[in-house]
Chain A
Amino acid sequence: MLLALFWIFAALMLVFGLGVVFFRSPVSSAMSLVMSFVALSALFVTLNAYFIGVIQVLVYAGAVMVLFLFIIMLLDLRAEERRAWNLAAVAGGAAVVLGFVGLLFRVLQSSPIYKMGRAEIWNTHLNDVRQVGFTLFSKFNLPFQIVGVLLLVATIGVVILSRKELK
């Protein structure tokens, strides 16, 4: 059952990922990316990472992709759709990607962790939101605060970048 669900959502994720690359219109690419992220969050749920799955849908499929769609709407991209593929670039890119996939498959096949199965989680009364929060605020307290500063810097940077005249 879990195996079937895993392969269904993995296939969905990869097909929509291919859609991002091969759709001509940027809006179709963005919608395809949303579907890919939703399937990925289902994969997180099959890994018992419910919190990360919810965060994935909220932050990526929600906030980040809305931002992408707004920018696509702001810029006039109609002229971009008519361009032909550059054959040399396509051949080179495909060679690099196929080489990467072949190498990855060989490395994974020969590695001892390839067939590693999973043990059951028996400590079920400690849910994962609580555990992630506990780890975040005890072990990773300083990085957490630094990330807060990073978000502030990004916000200020975006405001400055998007003013009408850059001086």
Chain B
Amino acid sequence: MSPSLGDYLFVSGLLFAIGLAGVLLRRNILIIFMCLELMLNAANLSLVAFSRYNLTDLGLPNFNAQVFVFFIITVAAAEVAVGLAIIVALYRARRTTHVEDLNRMKF
């Protein structure tokens, strides 16, 4: 007995919802950044699930989705590096990582 595609999609949707909750609820910019990673990983899980449940004629998973996940991981790594550099620069300028203290552009 193996889990159905819907089980994987549901778990991945729940992980996405947890990431969304973190982005909406937490006020520390580092935690918000971690929750963004959580949401990206939820997307990866659903892509890999689609790849496994959509076998090709050769009896293999559809590897296009796995290559797509590979690209997402690469771009996410670059994003983390740049984002953390921006956060460090922000901390140097303002001495805070709390998003409610960063209200210079607020109307």
Residues of A within 8 A of B (CB): 1-3, 6-7, 10, 13-14, 17-18, 20-21, 26, 29-30, 33, 36-37, 40, 43-44, 46-49, 51-52, 55-56, 59-60, 63-64, 67-68, 71-72, 74-75, 77, 80, 83, 85-86, 89-90, 92-94, 96-97, 100-101, 104-105, 108, 111, 113-123, 126, 128, 131-132, 134-136, 139-140, 143, 147, 150-151, 154-155, 157-158, 161-162, 166
Complex interface: chain B residues within 8 A of A75 (CB): 30, 87-88, 91, 97
A115 pairs with B4, CB closer than 8 A: yes
A113 pairs with B61, CB closer than 8 A: no
The answer, among A10, A30, A86, A120, for a CB contact under 8 Å with B11, is A10
The number of residue pairs between A and B whose CB atoms lie closer than 8 Å in the complex comes to: 238
B48 pairs with A44, CB closer than 8 A: yes
A117–B27 alpha-carbon span in the complex (Å): 41
A121 pairs with B60, CB closer than 8 A: yes
Tell me whether A47 and B48 are in contact in the complex, defined as CB-CB below 8 angstroms, given that A108-B9, A114-B6 are known contacts. yes
- Please classify how large the interface on chain B is, using the bins under 10, 10 to 19, 20 to 34, 35 or more: 35 or more
- Chain B interface helix/strand/loop/mixed: helix
Tell me whether A135 and B60 are in contact in the complex, defined as CB-CB below 8 angstroms, given that A56-B73, A74-B88 are known contacts. no
Tell me whether A26 and B31 are in contact in the complex, defined as CB-CB below 8 angstroms, given that A14-B15, A52-B66, A59-B77 are known contacts. yes
A21 pairs with B48, CB closer than 8 A: no
Residues of B within 8 A of A (CB): 1-11, 13-15, 17-22, 24-28, 30-31, 33-35, 37-38, 41, 44-45, 48-49, 51-53, 55, 58-61, 63-64, 66-67, 69-71, 73-82, 84-89, 91, 97-98
- The residue in chain B whose Cβ has the minimal distance to the Cβ of A47 is B52
A59–B40 alpha-carbon span in the complex (Å): 14
